[in-house]
Chains A and B, each alone.
Chain A
């Protein structure tokens, strides 16, 4: 696919869907996520955030889950490149 870009899950814009390409190096966090069924190749979408912008809710495999930004930033995802207005 053309124009794919990687970023961390926490940087993923609201409403965007992406595919997980890199799980956290932190083994403990990684095993926790895997137990919830979050692994490489899983499609995940950021759907909404809590009033203080953290944590955010993600939809994957039909399940809604809450992740803190500090945990989500350790997950690498690949998503379509869209209007990159800021830079």
Chain B
């Protein structure tokens, strides 16, 4: 039986779709069978990030309306074996889908695939409820800024109410430089507020923009720090124990300064 994991955040633009695309690809590269489900009905993006937009014929809405079989609606990835995409309909909107529909789709996919990653839309309304309906686990993506964290906090509360467990945190667009000069929250601050398990920290990486535009997920660029971070998260999802490297390269001086200010 496969695992259904919803990738969500509350706030928009923090990297849900990028994370879903990269984690799905990374899991497939590790030999797992994976389906990426785009739950952003009406504003679909995952097909573009995966570079599969020209191959989408059927969408999850066609499956729900019994226009086609679920298997027929899955788009095979052109780069890695075992990776499938279930696209969202662009012409419908979120109210056309019910949480039960998504749950049925997830339960069906679970019998065949190892991982089903559901890319949730931003917000806490219908789109989020649809996306999380069939989920066993959740990955909450946040950036280290107060507004994204407050929204992530809200989403975590809703996921806990829905008894989705475990909820793992990805801190995205993390900038060691900004943390170093004190203008960005560090990992400890974020975890102190959200109080859930951290599964990975993805550093700010301008390669994300080019990879999105080219439709090739970042994980294919071996040397990129973002790619390495996503590969590590994927390994952790498969149950491997890999320590989270400390991206905050503090010098001796700033460590001392930090120590003094915290103990003042």
Task: Report whether chain A binds chain B.
Answer: no
The interface of chain B, by Cβ under 8 A from chain A, is none
